[in-house]
Chains A and B, each alone.
Chain A
Amino acid sequence: MEKILLRNIDAPDSQTLEGYRACGGYRALEKVLREMTPEKLIDEVKASGLRGRGGAGFPTGMKWSFVPKDNPKPKYVVCNADESEPGTFKDRLLIEKDPHAIVEGTIIAAYAIRSHTSFIYIRGEMFYGAQVLQRALDEAAGAGYLGKNVLGSGYDIDLILHRGAGAYICGEETGLLSSLEGGKGWPKIKPPFPATHGLFGCPTVVNNVETLAALPWIITEGAARYAAIGTEKSKGTKLFCVSGHVKKPGVYEVDMGYPFKKFLEEDCGGMANGRKLKGVIPGGASMPVLRADELDGITMDYESFQAAGTLLGSGGVIVMDESTCMVRAAWNLSRFFAHESCGQCSPCREGCHWIEKILNRVEHGAGKPGDLEKILSVSGNIGGNTICPFGDAASWPPAAFIKKYRGEFDEHIAAGKCTIH
């Protein structure tokens, strides 16, 4: 498999401008500015089939094309580097090891929508990553890739690095924009969509780090080569972050469509400690868990995960072996969502805490008959009833855990204690 996103990771000095250029860096930007109009660039990215890698999988070129050309307001691109989906650590790797690919990709996206000021929003906790990115921005500006009249093309672009301050919800694109406007990270009702009414009410595109980092390769190698990798609806390569009970956790780049079981057993080295696989969350903590017996025939692409009743999401693969208490795992995630609910919509603000409280008591021996039905009912009342997708993200995991490991939950309640540990 050809490496596209991780191609520079092991190169010496991959963080520096010199190291990045030695790997062919900034040639894509030169090509775009010399040979391509924004329209042609958008068509090229559409033709590559690239879809947003933040979790939703929306086609990137199409997202750009929604930005109105005739709108006189400033236009903004925001690189979403607020990586905080539990189980996901791919963007952090790119930020720390290949920051110039992100900078170059963001400039290319900015050119596509004719933006002259754009942003990289990095999560506040990634202090080191912010330092690396700021250094890359300074180097890029020094070399004439940023600023006025980039490479003599007449195109001006300023790129501002902005640090978040600790809030999962700011990974949601409208929550991120609220945060970047200096407020609480409260998501906004859509429509209107950011493409027409985004940052400061201006047309805005928010793209994930991994999405933007794929652009330089797509431009230099051509959309057709990118589109030749993967499946019919999932083109190119994708980063998967593997954590939990496997021998070799880490970030892997795989061609879309790669067999999931083979990936876990061969690429990731199989299960650690010789124990059996019990379940896998395939796309970050928000996505429904899969039992070990559900993995046969699944391939790593948007449509296969969806057909299996879950989603590819951010590519955060959390592997759990037979020693894992699934009630405790579900409670752990419900606590995460209760902590991170932004508090704007009542079903989510209240419901996430109810679910956490009930799962907490089931795990700690005070579960009551009817508790599981109550969780399913509350979860059903959150999903689809909130401004942003956080409500769905918070409601899917507990429902999936209960549905797939019902016996274990019932045993906890009947025994009045945790039956695993």
Chain B
Amino acid sequence: MAVKFSDESLKKFEAIVARYPQKNAAMLPVLYLAQQEFGYISPEVMEYVSQIMDVPVARVLGVVTFYTMFNTKPIGRHHIQVCRTLPCALAGAERITGAIKEKLKIGLGETTPDGRFTLSEVECLASCGTAPMMQVNDDYYENLTEKNVGELLDRLK
């Protein structure tokens, strides 16, 4: 199936490109738009982005794989990202990750069979004063404990 933006996304794409002094600069927002529409950045999506951005596919591939926030594979509805860097580690981040693994019965980089959760560890998210913390999709969850993290996950359907 050929990858193509919906009419609505196409309008957004044009508005994004018009906003920048140079078209290349719109690459990250355009990739966000693509990820929003297609769920993840597949090779076909990269090819499509390369066409509409007038750049080689290799450049798109380079950008997509350089940044951590573009997914090249399908992920769960809720992407759990537990911070593992020193301030969170000092506050027990490993125990939080352990509690999540145990509850969801998945390891790092894995998705629950029902497609509800994907679990990752990430580096510092600038929330060290309220450690340990995690990000789920766009939202931060701070001051986690082994107990409250389970309750938080129960609320994410």
Binding site for B on A (CB under 8 A): 74, 83-89, 91-92, 117, 123-128, 160, 162-168, 179-185, 200, 241-245, 249-251, 281, 285, 316, 318, 320, 324, 328-329, 332-333, 335-336, 339-340, 342
Residues facing A in B13-49 (CB within 8 A) are 19-22, 24-29, 31-32
> Counting CB contacts under 8 A, is B151 at the interface?
no
Most A C-beta atoms less than 10 A away, residue of B21, B128, B130, B131: B128
10 residue pairs of the A-B complex, CB under 8 angstroms, read A84-B126, A124-B69, A125-B126, A127-B139, A183-B63, A185-B66, A243-B129, A250-B129, A318-B87, A336-B86
> Counting CB contacts under 8 A, is B123 at the interface?
yes
Instruction: Report the bound CA distance from A249 to B129 in whole Å.
Output: 5
Contact status of A183 and B69, CB under 8 A, knowing A86-B128, A88-B126, A285-B86 = no
Shortest 8 CB-CB contacts between residues of A and residues of B: A182-B27, A166-B68, A243-B128, A165-B67, A182-B24, A243-B87, A127-B138, A166-B69
Interface residue from B67, B91, B124, B139 paired with A336 (Cβ < 8 Å): B124
Instruction: Report the bound CA distance from A184 to B60 in whole Å.
Output: 9
Instruction: Report the bound CA distance from A85 to B123 in whole Å.
Output: 10
Residues of the B chain whose Cβ atoms lie less than 8 Å from the Cβ of A179:
28
The answer to whether A86 touches B86 (Cβ under 8 A) is yes
Residues of the B chain whose Cβ atoms lie less than 8 Å from the Cβ of A180:
25
Binding site for A on B (CB under 8 A): 19-22, 24-29, 31-32, 53, 59, 62-63, 66-70, 84-87, 89-91, 123-131, 135, 138-140
The answer to whether A163 touches B32 (Cβ under 8 A) is yes
The answer to whether A184 touches B62 (Cβ under 8 A) is yes
A to B contact number (C-beta, < 8 Å): 143
The answer to whether A241 touches B128 (Cβ under 8 A) is yes
The answer to whether A165 touches B69 (Cβ under 8 A) is yes
Residues of the B chain whose Cβ atoms lie less than 8 Å from the Cβ of A242:
129
Nearest CB in chain B: distance from A282 CB, A: 13
The answer to whether A183 touches B62 (Cβ under 8 A) is yes
Residues of the B chain whose Cβ atoms lie less than 8 Å from the Cβ of A241:
128-129
Nearest CB in chain B: distance from A165 CB, A: 4
Nearest CB in chain B: distance from A55 CB, A: 14
Contact status of A182 and B123, CB under 8 A, knowing A89-B128, A244-B87 = no
Residues of the B chain whose Cβ atoms lie less than 8 Å from the Cβ of A89:
126-129
The answer to whether B90 touches A92 (Cβ under 8 A) is no
The answer to whether B28 touches A164 (Cβ under 8 A) is yes
Residues of the B chain whose Cβ atoms lie less than 8 Å from the Cβ of A245:
90
Nearest CB in chain B: distance from A53 CB, A: 15
Residues of the B chain whose Cβ atoms lie less than 8 Å from the Cβ of A163:
28-29, 32
Residues of the A chain whose Cβ atoms lie less than 8 Å from the Cβ of B63:
182-184
Instruction: Report the bound CA distance from A162 to B66 in whole Å.
Output: 17
The answer to whether B70 touches A165 (Cβ under 8 A) is yes
Nearest CB in chain A: distance from B61 CB, A: 10
Instruction: Report the bound CA distance from A290 to B124 in whole Å.
Output: 21
Contact status of A200 and B22, CB under 8 A, knowing A184-B63, A332-B86 = yes
Instruction: Report the bound CA distance from A163 to B27 in whole Å.
Output: 11
The answer to whether B128 touches A316 (Cβ under 8 A) is yes
The answer to whether A318 touches B128 (Cβ under 8 A) is yes
The answer to whether B25 touches A182 (Cβ under 8 A) is yes
The answer to whether A181 touches B85 (Cβ under 8 A) is no
Residues of the B chain whose Cβ atoms lie less than 8 Å from the Cβ of A127:
138-139
